[in-house]
Amino acid sequence: MEIERTVTTSAPVEVVFGYLADFTTSTEWDPGTIRTIRVSGDGGVGTTYHNTSRFLGRQTELTYVVEQLVPASVIRLRGENATVIAHDTMTLAAGSSGGTVLTYRAAFSFQGLARFVAPLLRPAFRRLGDDAEHGLRAALDRLAT
């Protein structure tokens, strides 16, 4: 299952990258996130985050690891718990007016019994993507001011 959203902001690419590369900011732009703390690392590749979110009324926890950081260009993380593996990729590009075009892609692979109910969750994941898009737009637009 995949979610992909594109957000355009007038905030410069370097500012957006710096903000999103610190995954603890997910509490500000992902409405489902309750808490994200950095467990280890300096924010670069290999850094580990513990994320607590609410999905479908239930609290869930994932461990995210930064897999790739290309300055002002790509942020890729891998999150995992007993039921899901998430690959989140944020690709940034300079916009035509000096701002940023952000493409956020999240791909989910379900494990165990969860893989049998995953197809039923499509509408909930669509809402999750919509909510994240709105949260990202609002947070990134605050960076532009």
Q: Which residue has the higher pLDDT, 54 or 23?
A: 23
pTM comes to 0.89
Q: Report the candidate in 4, 11, 2, 3 with the shortest Cα–Cα distance to residue 101.
A: 11
Q: Please, what is the Cα angle at 114 between 22 and 80, to 5 degrees?
A: 25
Q: Count of domains in the chain?
A: 1
Confirm if 121 and 1 have CB atoms less than 8 A apart.
yes
Q: Could you tell me the residue range of the domain that residue 120 belongs to? A: 2-143
DSSP string of 60-97?
EEEEEEEEEEETTTEEEEEEE-SSEEEEEEEEEEE-TT
pLDDT digits (tens, 9 = 90+) for 34-83: 999 999 999 999 999 999 998 778 899 999 999 999 999 999 999 999 88
Q: What is the CATH number of the domain that holds 10?
A: 3.30.530.20
CA distances for 58 relative to 3, 33, 36, angstroms: 20, 12, 16
pLDDT digits (tens, 9 = 90+) for 88-126: 999 999 987 889 999 999 998 887 766 667 666 677 778
